[in-house]
Amino acid sequence: MSDPVRLPANARPAVPLAAWLALLLLAVSPCTAPPANAQFSAAGSAAAESAAESATRRDDVASYGRHNLYRAGRTVRTGQPVQGDFHAAGSRVVIDAPVQGDALMIGGTVEVRSPVGGDLRTLAGKVLVDSQIGGDALIAGVEISLERQSRVSGDAVIAGRAVDMRGTIGGELTVYAQQVTIAGPIAGKVRLVAEEIELLAGARIDGELSYTSPNELKQAPGVLIAGQVTRVAREKPTERDTARQDGKAAGMSWFLLGSVLWSLGLFAFGAAMLTAFPAFTVAAARRATSDSLASLGLGLALVVTTPIAAGLAILTIVGIPLGAAALAIYPVLILAGYLIGVWSVAIRTRELMGRRSPASRAVLLAWLAAALVMLLLVGVVPFLGWLIAAWVTLAGVGAMAMTLWQRRAQST
């Protein structure tokens, strides 16, 4: 039986890694996707139409939400004022209209050119802030610039290779970098850890300054520091500290190796599912997104009640074979459910990127590999990783059961 989902041979998932991470949140969200075929219920179709009002794609940018806005693509802009929070990922992310809530952005380049009413959190290769931040700022990148017009009302924590701070900080400032340049006023305490630290004309620190650096602090004439200036020496690591660090490095290496091997095994299993049961695999994966809440609820019920029912069957003595068989296939059920969930993430992400034309099996496997990489990366995030993995697994188990039941009903 041919696979109902096919892409052109020249299609490829050429999406920035940061965009993959943001799209993963959209892919596992309860927002429904278009039904795979006419067999889906009218309720599922209505839900898909409702979701289409809030999930859109324009100019290679996937967008979701009204009050809180989620976007991913190559070049992402706010475009218009955002009443809530703004979450975005892409090669270039620009805030060019006011955001009343918080802003969370990941990308190659991030530019903040309009006010953010709440906190700013960003991770990028190059970060430029040229507007006001109403809350705190947490910025990580390679090259980071806070222009003269920028102002952070709260505290700022910055980590990067080169940090050029010419704006205003209303609270405390903490910087970890190789090179730090400060030429603006800071209302609170300042903590700097860097190879090169330079305070230019226009710099003013109303609190204390503590810094750690192998070189002396460079201070231009006219720089005002109200508090005490303290140079904190770096502690030399002991043999015990070195051994502990070596042990952590070895443990991390084994963890990464195990994660890679596990992902390869999952990829092989997922490829086998697509080869042996192509229509069922795609139908169940689509069901996991089109009826996500129903799939999640049924999957939770099956995962919880199956071992309980098997145990009760074993207690009856007569039901020992049935109970033992149920416990034997239980791990396979969980693994297959997780892979169906991964397939749903792959297909959903592909659709969010606007690729709805037929796909070859090789291209589908490429999207499966991309989905596994996304889940592997998000899996290292505390709590969020476990939450998404549980959602994917339970939705996959429920979708399998619903698809099997539907096919059985059709066959009778």
Would you say the C-alpha torsion 25, 22, 335, 344 has a positive or negative sign? positive
> Would you say residue 111 lies in a domain?
yes
pLDDT score at 407: 82
Same domain membership, residue 33 and residue 105: no
> Would you say residue 310 lies in a domain?
yes
Same domain membership, residue 105 and residue 226: yes
Same domain membership, residue 193 and residue 337: no
Q: In 3-state terms, what secondary structure has residue 111?
A: strand
Q: For 40-80, where are the alpha helices, taking DSSP H only? A: 42-54
pLDDT score at 175: 95
> Would you say residue 172 lies in a domain?
yes
> Would you say residue 164 lies in a domain?
yes
Same domain membership, residue 270 and residue 207: no
Q: 189 Cβ partners below 8 Å, 6+ apart?
A: 172, 173, 207, 208, 209, 210, 227
Same domain membership, residue 402 and residue 287: yes
Same domain membership, residue 397 and residue 262: yes
Q: How far is the C-alpha of 135 from the C-alpha of 94, rounded, in Å?
A: 19
pLDDT score at 40: 31
Same domain membership, residue 152 and residue 226: yes
Same domain membership, residue 265 and residue 228: no
- Phi then psi for residue 76, to 5 deg, are -120, 130
Full residue range of the structural domain in which residue 405 is found = 17-49+258-411
Q: How far is the C-alpha of 344 from the C-alpha of 36, rounded, in Å?
A: 12
First to last CA, the chain: 20
DSSP labels, 251-312? HHHHHHHHHHHHHHHHHHHHHHHHHHSHHHHHHHHHHHHHTHHHHHHHHHHHHHHHHHHHHH
The DSSP output letter for 232 is P
pLDDT score at 299: 87
Same domain membership, residue 202 and residue 101: yes
pLDDT score at 4: 42
pLDDT score at 16: 38
Q: Name the residue among 86, 61, 70, 66 with its Cα closest to residue 29.
A: 70
> Would you say residue 130 lies in a domain?
yes
> Would you say residue 3 lies in a domain?
no
| Count of structural domains within the chain | 2
Domain boundary among 235, 268, 291: 235
Domain boundary among 202, 235, 268: 235
Q: How far is the C-alpha of 315 from the C-alpha of 329, rounded, in Å?
A: 19
pLDDT score at 32: 37
pLDDT score at 122: 92
pLDDT score at 225: 92
Helix (H) or strand (E) holding 86: strand 86-95
> Would you say residue 57 lies in a domain?
no
User: Tokens 């340049």, residue?
Assistant: 181
> Would you say residue 115 lies in a domain?
yes
- CA angle at residue 395 from 390 to 398, to 5 degrees? 125
Same domain membership, residue 378 and residue 332: yes
Q: Name the residue among 403, 381, 383 with its Cα closest to residue 106.
A: 381
Same domain membership, residue 263 and residue 405: yes
Q: Which two tokens stand for residue 284?
A: 């169940």
Q: Which amino acid is located at 138 in the chain? A: L
Same domain membership, residue 277 and residue 204: no
pLDDT in tens, the chain (412 residues): 434 444 333 333 333 334 444 444 444 444 433 333 333 333 333 333 333 334 444 555 555 667 888 887 778 899 899 999 998 887 889 999 999 999 998 888 999 999 999 999 998 889 999 999 999 999 998 999 999 999 999 999 999 999 999 999 999 999 999 999 999 999 999 999 999 999 999 999 999 999 999 999 999 998 999 999 999 877 555 667 667 776 777 777 777 777 778 778 888 888 888 888 888 988 898 888 888 888 888 889 888 888 888 888 888 878 788 888 888 888 888 999 999 999 988 888 887 776 666 677 788 888 888 888 888 777 777 777 788 888 889 989 999 989 988 888 877 7
